[in-house]
Chains A and B, each alone.
Chain A
């Protein structure tokens, strides 16, 4: 394509965008809204996956003992645990130590401890660290069958919960995004249809004087892609602000939650949002061209 021709296409596209100002605005906002939601869901899924893989690489099992065991019984369990393969370290946490750690974690909400009225409901526990995460799942299952053991917890427990949640968010997100994609396609193809209608005389003449089909199509395609691109850019900016806000909030109140850092992540995310925007724009105008411009 010659540069002069490309300039002509862009000029024509911009001309019709300003001519159908209201429809242009409507399409851009629809694209922006849809892509914003896509972006938010992506952030959610990516963070849950990140959380899951963080937990997956944890090599710790917490084994909570039943109440009312003798010291001997507890020691006996400790011996059995030491005999397990690939154990790196075993730490025993008694009830008092557990309470101490709990208090530390509560921070300024010590009122909760006071409500316990001096009772200590926390169990004593062993914390085993393994050399690699492979052993964790099976060992936890095995240990849970010991008669002295109340329960054994490890990261993957939580991981399964997270996977369930991710699944729900994914399915919900996909349904919502599919619906929004439909709406976006509809409104973009409508906008392009108006442009085609406004230019039908020109198109007719172009055909008669031998303009190629692609020469006729390009301005409409460019218009659609521009609508998608601008919508994608707005969506990226909004998701950026949103994610920034969430990051700050989480750092203030839920510091232990490991969020995916903004920067390398947003290079990919903005590329996705802009790419999807442009693609949806191109498809939307193609639909219109197929329907209303038999070239």
Chain B
């Protein structure tokens, strides 16, 4: 599903982001990427969505060689990915339902399909009753649920989450993590970047630790993970 083979990335300003990183993630896995800031976590995600390209090595997502993707094919790669951010990134002047529908509108999905899918993901994230509210009227946790709904509405193969609980209190975070688990159980591969050790232990899933651009550990059980 996701394959990093000896990936190197140095930014133009000379800072080393990834140094000979090789990672394999199978379909249906739930993987946490953790490490201190500047360890290369964001670069990892940006490589997946082709926001940056590696200097050397290959990145393969869903059998697509991402590193040498033609420019006009990038949107089609991104349609196979769902991305959730720490800061939600909802459109303030659109309602919850419109925010989710937007993801389908811009890929020219049929209105009938949009309506059905929006209703079904709203139910999944438990916000059917807030479909017509504006983001500003929702709590942080609810806003993140909307963002997750938007990320999964086009049925991505991989859901990528960049510190999805970074702005949320511990209780709300647990709810969000449970939602990710539900999505994972339905077959979607999940890659989540976090530095929240509580959550790593709570989830007890595969953890890949990055530090200074290198993979320092890769364990199948988060509960055994210790910040060395």
Contact = CB atoms under 8 A, between A and B. Distances in A.
B83 interface: yes
A201 B108 contact: no
Interface string B81-119: 101000001010000000000110111100100000000
Contact of A208 (B71, B80, B83, B105): B83
B79 interface: yes
A208 B72 contact: no
B78 A202 contact: no
Interface residues of A, number: 18
Interface string A1-20: 01011001000000000000
A210 B91 contact: no
Given A5-B108, A215-B106, A209 B154 contact: yes
A213 B72 contact: yes
B1 to A, nearest CB: 18
A211 B150 CA distance: 14
A207 interface: yes
A5 B105 CA distance: 9
A201 B107 contact: no
> Which applies to chain A's interface (DSSP): helix, strand, loop or mixed?
helix
Given A210-B78, A210-B79, A211-B107, A205 B72 contact: no
Nearest to B85: A208
A221 to B, nearest CB: 16
Interface residue tally on B, bucketed by range = 20 to 34
Given A201-B89, A201-B91, A202-B91, A209 B49 contact: no
B3 to A, nearest CB: 21
B55 to A, nearest CB: 19
A217 to B, nearest CB: 12
Contacts of A212: 72, 75
A99 interface: no
A206 interface: yes
A204 interface: yes
Contacts of B72: 212-213
A119 B103 CA distance: 93
B89 A204 contact: yes
B150 A209 contact: yes
A134 B77 CA distance: 71
A209 B79 contact: yes
A205 B84 CA distance: 10
Contacts of B77: 210
A215 B154 contact: no
Contacts of A202: 91, 102
B78 A207 contact: yes
A210 B76 contact: yes
Contacts of A211: 75, 106-107
B154 to A, nearest CB: 7
24 contacts: A4-B111, A5-B108, A8-B105, A201-B89, A202-B91, A205-B91, A206-B102, A207-B78, A208-B78, A209-B79, A209-B107, A209-B154, A210-B80, A210-B81, A210-B106, A210-B107, A211-B106, A211-B107, A212-B75, A213-B72, A215-B106, A215-B107, A215-B108, A216-B106
Given A210-B79, A213-B71, 17 more contacts: A201-B91, A202-B91, A202-B102, A205-B102, A207-B75, A207-B78, A208-B83, A209-B78, A209-B107, A210-B78, A210-B106, A210-B107, A210-B154, A212-B75, A213-B72, A215-B107, A215-B108
Q: What 9 pairs between A and B have smallest CB-CB spacing?
A: A210-B79, A211-B106, A210-B78, A209-B103, A210-B75, A212-B75, A206-B106, A208-B83, A5-B108
